[in-house]
DNA sequence: TAAAAATGTCTATTGATATAGACAACTAGA
DNA sequence: TCTAGTTGTCTATATCAATAGACATTTTTA
């Protein structure tokens, strides 16, 4: 196992990310604990103290818990899988991967469509759109932070409907749109920014997956454009065709 | 604009990533240069020397070039878009986004299918599979590093065919498979490791997008499983449904 | 009970990271 | 040609990151 030196990312941060990923992959499921510090130090080719810094960061995240004399126990391991398809539905997608699912409305406002938003929603630039900021949780852990735009003429009551139901699908249904399909999804990845840190409870330096998606009604008219951020250590996407 | 302190990622690295991303988004297209160092320092709330470290890293990557007295000029900006669909084809997907396209065979070997590989290809564990390591370039820049597995019985000559044609689609055709479809694609993101650094010419600390994909013939029988790594600063995916 | 194995804590040292300030060198425009 | 704006270079200082070693404390095992 190799870590990179002097590249602007501290060794303890790289090692913490690798161990977190190993835990998520189930590499340590056999004994439910991480290998001893000296073993990890040898594996990564670093000093034991550097490994300790990495484990301290993971303990801070609540992923491991060190017990003197025994070892460093795994407290939590999870990775959610999001199917992306023509019929992508967030709440259904999580399915039984989490017991408790929540959708919170953080903010809502009517604004004029920018060039970007207008293009995505196929409406004139400057026409009224509803902007909604939402946060989704699975088992109390934030799993996505989304900004969504809807044509205001057709979905003026979107914010209230979402707040009541906690689900986009249910809110659409309440406004008379019983079915819709995912037209396009763009996926990219960036480093977490300060906002992600707060909203997604991300560990600093972590990676965020970003999707830009357009949903359309069955006539192919765009009904929603959304930019959603997911913590990459917790989430992956599956595109089924 | 906010940068995070004491999170294991050096400020100059965060700032370099942000500026690279701004360049890719076209934020500085107006005058073809990055804002002055003192302006950037004020924007990010850091010392000018820290911004200089970030710009030096970008200059090392060949993205900007500083000229004393004039400013820091943008040398190169690019981002490739990969469509992912039922008919995903790598070489076609790039289309005219690059003038020059290459596919290199780095290594090939016959091996026994592991549990993971066997499951993906729907073959018995331990049955012979062809493993191929390939590197793809667009305009001389590495854009993906893939490990692919094929059932050995059906596609024994895959490595030779790929080496000859530089394309999976063409190699399949040469072996009698004229059409195939993408069954499933998983997308995740991790930090670049040392291998990525070398193979994808990635800047240290950068992000790598990872896809795990299965292609099937028209009867739905898996013909290829591949794990592909893309530099996230250069590549994004579009899922069209 | 003793030994082995594991984490916890302390000191010390070196190099990387970040800030601060001063001034030199170069470019472009008035 | 002068000046404002910009990058280049230098010194100095403080903190973070990483290594190294020693020893304490706790748990498990022989």
pLDDT digits (tens, 9 = 90+) for A177-217: 989 988 888 888 877 765 676 566 565 556 788 888 899 99
Say whether residue A164 is in contact with chain B using an 8 A CB cutoff.
no
- Taking C1' of D28 and every protein CA, the nearest residue is A70
Contact B97, B113 (CB under 8 A): no
Cα B174 versus chain centre, distance: 26
Question: Which whole number is the average pLDDT over B170-177?
Answer: 92
- Taking C1' of C8 and every protein CA, the nearest residue is A68
Question: Which whole number is the average pLDDT over A115-130?
Answer: 92
Comparing CB atoms, the residue among B2, B7, B237 nearest residue A187 is B237
Residues belonging to chain A? 241
Could you give the angle at which helices B48-60 and B11-25 cross, rounded to 10 degrees?
A: 60
Say whether residue B181 is in contact with chain A using an 8 A CB cutoff.
yes
Question: Which whole number is the average pLDDT over B114-142?
Answer: 86
Distance of A62 CA from D23 C1′ (whole Å): 29
pLDDT of residue A238: 75
Closest chain B CA to residue A88? B241
Predicted confidence band at B233 (pLDDT cuts at 50, 70, 90)?
confident
Q: pLDDT by residue (tens digit) across B184-214? A: 888 888 777 656 765 665 655 567 888 988 9
- Of B209, B237, B233, B201, the residue nearest B24 (C-alpha): B233
pLDDT of residue A13: 87
Residues of B within 8 A of A46 (CB-CB) are none
pLDDT of residue B143: 84
Test A185 with B17 for CB contact under 8 angstroms. Answer: no
Checking if the pLDDT of A226 tops 80, the result is yes
Mapping DSSP onto H, E and C, the string for chain A reads CCCCCCCCECHHHHHHHHHHHHHHHCCCCCCCEECCHHHHHHHHCCCHHHHHHHHHHHHHHCCEEEECCCEEEECCCCCEEEEECCCCCHHHHHHHHCCCEEEEEEEEEEEECCHHHHHHHCCCCCCEEEEEEEEEEECCEEEEEEEEEEECCCCCCHHHHHHHHCCHHHHHHHCCCCCCEEEEEEEEEEECCHHHHHHCCCCCCCEEEEEEEEEECCCCCEEEEEEEEEECCCEEEEEEC
Say whether residue A2 is in contact with chain B using an 8 A CB cutoff.
yes
pLDDT of residue B27: 83
Distance of A179 CA from C17 C1′ (whole Å): 54
Contact A72, A66 (CB under 8 A): yes
**CB of A147 nearer than 7 A to strand C:** no
> How do beta strands A71-74 and A101-112 pair?
unpaired
Q: pLDDT by residue (tens digit) across A131-183? A: 998 888 775 567 888 999 999 999 998 988 988 888 888 899 999 998 998 88
Question: Which whole number is the average pLDDT over B112-129?
Answer: 92
Residue B6: which nucleotide is closest by CA–C1'? D16
Measured CA to CA, the distance from residue A65 to residue A57 in angstroms comes to 11
Predicted confidence band at B134 (pLDDT cuts at 50, 70, 90)?
confident
Measured CA to CA, the distance from residue B232 to residue B234 in angstroms comes to 5
Distance of A69 CA from C3 C1′ (whole Å): 14
Pick the residue with more confidence: A196 or A100? A196
Highest mean pLDDT among A18-22, A46-50, A156-160, B11-15: A46-50
Distance of A49 CA from C11 C1′ (whole Å): 14
Pick the residue with more confidence: A139 or B27? B27
pLDDT of residue B33: 93
Residues of B within 8 A of A8 (CB-CB) are 9-10, 12-13, 16, 57, 204-205
**CB of B87 nearer than 7 A to strand C:** no
Checking if the pLDDT of B139 tops 60, the result is no
Closest chain A CA to residue B208? A189
Say whether residue A16 is in contact with chain B using an 8 A CB cutoff.
yes
pLDDT of residue B195: 67
Comparing CB atoms, the residue among B9, B81, B241 nearest residue A205 is B9
Mean pLDDT score across all residues of chain B: 83
Phi, psi of A140 (to 5 degrees): 70, -5
**CB of A109 nearer than 7 A to strand C:** no
pLDDT of residue A97: 60
Checking if the pLDDT of B69 tops 70, the result is yes
Q: Which domains does chain A have, with CATH numbers?
A: 11-74 (1.10.10.10), 80-239 (3.40.1410.10)
Distance of A235 CA from C11 C1′ (whole Å): 42
Tell me which of B15, B187, B232 to substitute to probe the interface with A (most A C-beta atoms closer than 10 Å): B187
ipTM greater than 0.95, yes or no? no
pLDDT of residue B136: 84
Predicted confidence band at B236 (pLDDT cuts at 50, 70, 90)?
confident
Residues lining strand D, beta carbon within 7 angstroms: A 5, 10-13, 45-47, 49-50, 53, 67-70; B 6-8, 34, 36-39, 49, 52, 55, 66-72
Mapping DSSP onto H, E and C, the string for chain B reads CCCCCCCCECHHHHHHHHHHHHHHHCCCCCCCEECCHHHHHHHHCCCHHHHHHHHHHHHHCCCEEEECCCEEEECCCCCEEEEECCCCCHHHHHHHHCCCEEEEEEEEEEEECCHHHHHHHCCCCCCEEEEEEEEEEECCEEEEEEEEEEECCCCCCHHHHHHHHCCHHHHHHHCCCCCCEEEEEEEEEEECCHHHHHHCCCCCCCEEEEEEEEEECCCCCEEEEEEEEEECCCEEEEEEC
Q: pLDDT by residue (tens digit) across A42-88? A: 988 999 999 999 999 888 877 899 999 999 999 876 567 777 878 77
Q: pLDDT by residue (tens digit) across B159-168? A: 889 888 888 9
pLDDT of residue A100: 56
pLDDT above 70 covers a percentage of chain B that reads 83
Minimum mean pLDDT range among A53-57, A79-83, A115-119, A126-130: A79-83
- Taking C1' of D19 and every protein CA, the nearest residue is A47
> How do beta strands A181-191 and B235-240 pair?
antiparallel
């Amino acid at each position: 196992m190799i870590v990179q030196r002097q590249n602007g990312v501290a060794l303890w941060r790289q090692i913490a990310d690798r161990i977190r990923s190993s835990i998520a992959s189930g590499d340590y499921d056999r004994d439910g604990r991480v290998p001893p510090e000296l073993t990890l130090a040898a594996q990564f080719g670093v000093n034991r103290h550097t490994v300790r810094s990495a484990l301290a960061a993971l303990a801070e995240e609540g992923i491991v818990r060190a017990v003197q004399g025994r070892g460093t126990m795994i407290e939590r391991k999870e990775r959610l899988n999001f199917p992306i398809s023509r019929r992508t539905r967030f709440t259904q997608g999580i399915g039984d991967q989490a017991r408790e699912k929540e959708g919170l409305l953080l903010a809502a406002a009517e604004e004029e469509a920018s060039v970007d938003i207008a293009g995505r929603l196929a409406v004139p630039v400057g026409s009224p759109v509803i902007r909604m900021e939402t946060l989704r949780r699975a088992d109390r852990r934030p799993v996505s932070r989304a900004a969504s735009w809807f044509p205001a003429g057709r979905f003026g009551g979107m914010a209230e409907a979402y707040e009541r139901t906690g689900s986009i699908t249910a809110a659409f249904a309440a406004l008379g749109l019983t079915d819709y399909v995912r037209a396009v999804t763009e996926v990219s990845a960036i480093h977490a920014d300060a906002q992600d840190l707060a909203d997604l409870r991300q560990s600093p330096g972590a990676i965020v997956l970003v999707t830009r998606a357009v949903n359309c009604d069955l006539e192919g008219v765009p009904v929603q454009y959304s930019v959603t951020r997911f913590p990459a250590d917790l989430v992956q996407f599956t595109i089924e065709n």
